[in-house]
Structure 1
């Protein structure tokens, strides 16, 4: 089995472990205090939203130009200068952040200002991690980095939350000790994450700090690097989930942000297979574009898109029939989450559309038309912010309005990219097999819903998703859409156990 399949599979396994940690905490721990959990998620999302202003697209240039610099033996020079640039950018960012309130005093009333002592250092840590993450992906090794990128934040969340709950029972209600201690643990986990990135990068290729600028000055290579980084920066404003979390925390409240985070944890299960494949596929896409082999790229595009759409559709089908019974096992606030079931349907459908379009954005980003992707990301961010403000200020839909905003903006964004890639590269992620997948999953969901409901919710939670899986497996057996036999064999299982 290819390195793409092995690394993608391992990446997904780590993703599912992270999902289980997040889901178990969301079901049995987080509902105890959705307000504080919403605060933790607000801190993380706000930091993620502001990281692009510090990274400034440099992480993407570490992928774009890696082949060139590695041929010249200057990959360590590129990494060193990238890290130095991030430190300089962070100092500039701090200056702007603290000067800004003098021109807009209302910023001091926002939550981002009140908890800046935690958010600002986190921005620097995440920025440095972003550089190492992309740099390491050039070696087609994404499994270990996913442990840092996926599991560590989950551990930070649940650990900080448990510390807060424990200390809250020991200290007076007005004491700041529980919250401050929880934030300290939260921050400490990201320090460990950065150290892990550094250790693993050094293991792959011994780090030798080289801050000389001669190579980048030659033939004005620094201009290419800076230009691509700048446009990469402009294209990073489409983190709609971080935008949503920030706006929910600021305008709806931390409890609503906690509910949003729990529902998002469920929906994120659908897209886990996508993440591993996209990270490991970036170098392959770049090579096909460089060679002008559009036929091979189209085949790879369709195959990858169908795979992640099929897996996502299966998972989404199970979630839809099982979620109503899942909420009965929550210690409290389960009824509140059940009221927001339409959010799962809306967000899940939008994510499925995103999966079906494959790595459209990656193709554009790694091509000479990368500037177009910037326009699309700005469109996504603009639509998300604008629609969020509309639904928050003009309706009583609350989180359902946020979900509709996400679905509209994300679907528009993906449809435009499909059309652009078809006309520019003659590649498309869509295939007739996707229609069959949709039909099979829709029939499976319909059958599971109309089947009898038992008084025991645990039985319902188990047997209805099981029915969905069985029906999809039968449908796939006759249509041969997904090659299950390639993954359910000893050779593949042995290959994925070799963590290299």
Structure 2
């Protein structure tokens, strides 16, 4: 496997993600606010599925990425085959546990858990196929299926419910079917580019890759993924319990819009994962540190640039829309979660560095600590204050900032890698000053004008500063090429 990231794959990956985001944003601001309770229920079921699928995967997807480069072609095939069968076995165990849980859960919760089971199974296989596609450096098509189909399916079922064509339960069923279609399409694509068969014996695989090492890594990865649910996704389960499905819908509107900032990071992390694994195995710390710094600067600039546009322009945009009254409660949550996303992006691929190093166990400690902190903060702010979903947003910001800080310091202490320099600090200070100054400019009575001139100010000021100070060489080079094409 080459260490060079395919530029075509990176561009396609990012483009597909943004197409999916565009569809999702349109749905979020025009369709979902019309029935926030239904959105809250869908995200509640989705949260159950996100809880189940790490159990079914049991760390096999991370193990596939971690051990794949060090194996021969035949053993690579066996590792993938073993992962396929492992999900089936774990799904059977999960089904048994769900059946037993019917004695303890009330009817509505058990119903949503049943609907979540096939959704979680489909997600598990989609995740495995995506990891194999990452090994093959053919991630764009699976990304297209995964990012576009749900974005089309969910607004469609919303429209069907809004017009009385289907019930809420039927809509949830259609949403699950959409993920089944994704699983089939992604699997078909991977098998088209990867000759594969199931094996009866895996003795030679585990002679070269000791079972103790495989299961130790897989279980640690599972614990991290399982803890990650409680660290990152537990909000969608807790908000309905303490407030309502409607409030869950309001919060998830904010989550959807804020998460658009992270699309460039998603592509970079996915495509760099095999490269990071190889560089660590080769002890190429100098090369890794350069990539670490460059990626952190690049992702911070992209994230902060997009967040600046959202922060100064989203309220004028909402004022233009017919759904403003339903969208307005999400505004303060969007600001808080947006800051959180930028902080997460600015620390680069610190999780991946730890995951593929001999210190991978620290990820488990960090995730479990984050899980406890996030749950405690959510419980306290939901039950002991009147902040509501704003309290959930604060809990997320506090816990994830501490989480990223801890990982960054740990990497520096153990591996001597540090992602920040003076130019990074200057860039952060500049962004903060500019966005606050433009944000504080009072709105006029003309929302279109407010939207255009505020976003225009932010874009022009940031691009001029970036070009003048050359904080991010990759983007400066791109601007120089663009300038040459236009002028020359």
Whether these two folds match at TM > 0.5 is: yes
Note closer, same or farther for the CA distance 1:214–1:2 as it changes in structure 2 (3 Å cut): closer
Give the structure 2 partner of residue 43 of structure 1: 45
Report the 3-state secondary structure (helix = DSSP H, G, I; strand = E; otherwise coil) of the residue aligned with 1:74.
helix
1:296 aligns with 2:270: no
Give the structure 1 partner of residue 485 of structure 2: none
- 1:347-381: CA deviations, max 9, x gaps? 12222111111111111110111111111111111
Aligned ranges 1:246-257 → 2 under 5 Å: 246-257=237-248
Following superposition, the deviation at residue 78 of structure 1 comes to: 1.5
Give the structure 1 partner of residue 167 of structure 2: 178
Following superposition, the deviation at residue 205 of structure 1 comes to: 1.1
Give the structure 2 partner of residue 82 of structure 1: 83
Note closer, same or farther for the CA distance 1:87–1:449 as it changes in structure 2 (3 Å cut): same
C-alpha separation in 1, matches of 2:140 and 2:480: 21
Following superposition, the deviation at residue 219 of structure 1 comes to: 5.3
Following superposition, the deviation at residue 7 of structure 1 comes to: 2.5
Give me the CA root mean square deviation. 2.0
Following superposition, the deviation at residue 442 of structure 1 comes to: 2.3
Deviates more, 1:294-303 or 1:47-56: 47-56
Give the structure 2 partner of residue 258 of structure 1: 249
Following superposition, the deviation at residue 458 of structure 1 comes to: 1.6
Give the structure 1 partner of residue 30 of structure 2: 28
Give the structure 2 partner of residue 494 of structure 1: none
Deviates more, 1:411-420 or 1:149-158: 149-158
Note closer, same or farther for the CA distance 1:316–1:211 as it changes in structure 2 (3 Å cut): farther
C-alpha separation in 2, matches of 1:150 and 1:127: 15
C-alpha separation in 1, matches of 2:205 and 2:435: 56
C-alpha separation in 2, matches of 1:235 and 1:361: 11
Give the structure 1 partner of residue 117 of structure 2: 120
1:187 aligns with 2:176: yes
Give the structure 2 partner of residue 94 of structure 1: 95
Following superposition, the deviation at residue 336 of structure 1 comes to: 4.8
Aligned ranges 1:384-403 → 2 under 5 Å: 384-403=374-393
C-alpha separation in 2, matches of 1:253 and 1:452: 34
Give the structure 2 partner of residue 359 of structure 1: 349
1:439 aligns with 2:440: no
C-alpha separation in 1, matches of 2:209 and 2:426: 52
The answer on whether the counterparts of 1:46 and 1:242 sit within 8 Å (CA) in structure 2 is no
C-alpha separation in 1, matches of 2:263 and 2:431: 19
Report the 3-state secondary structure (helix = DSSP H, G, I; strand = E; otherwise coil) of the residue aligned with 1:319.
helix
List runs of 5+ in structure 2 lacking aligned partners. 483-488
List runs of 5+ in structure 1 lacking aligned partners. 171-176, 492-500
Following superposition, the deviation at residue 315 of structure 1 comes to: 0.4
Give the structure 1 partner of residue 106 of structure 2: 108
C-alpha separation in 1, matches of 2:234 and 2:200: 35
After TM superposition, the score normalised by the length of structure 1 is: 0.91
C-alpha separation in 2, matches of 1:466 and 1:354: 26
Match 2:68 to one of 66, 69, 76: 66
Q: How many residues align?
A: 477
Give the structure 1 partner of residue 134 of structure 2: 137
Following superposition, the deviation at residue 310 of structure 1 comes to: 0.5
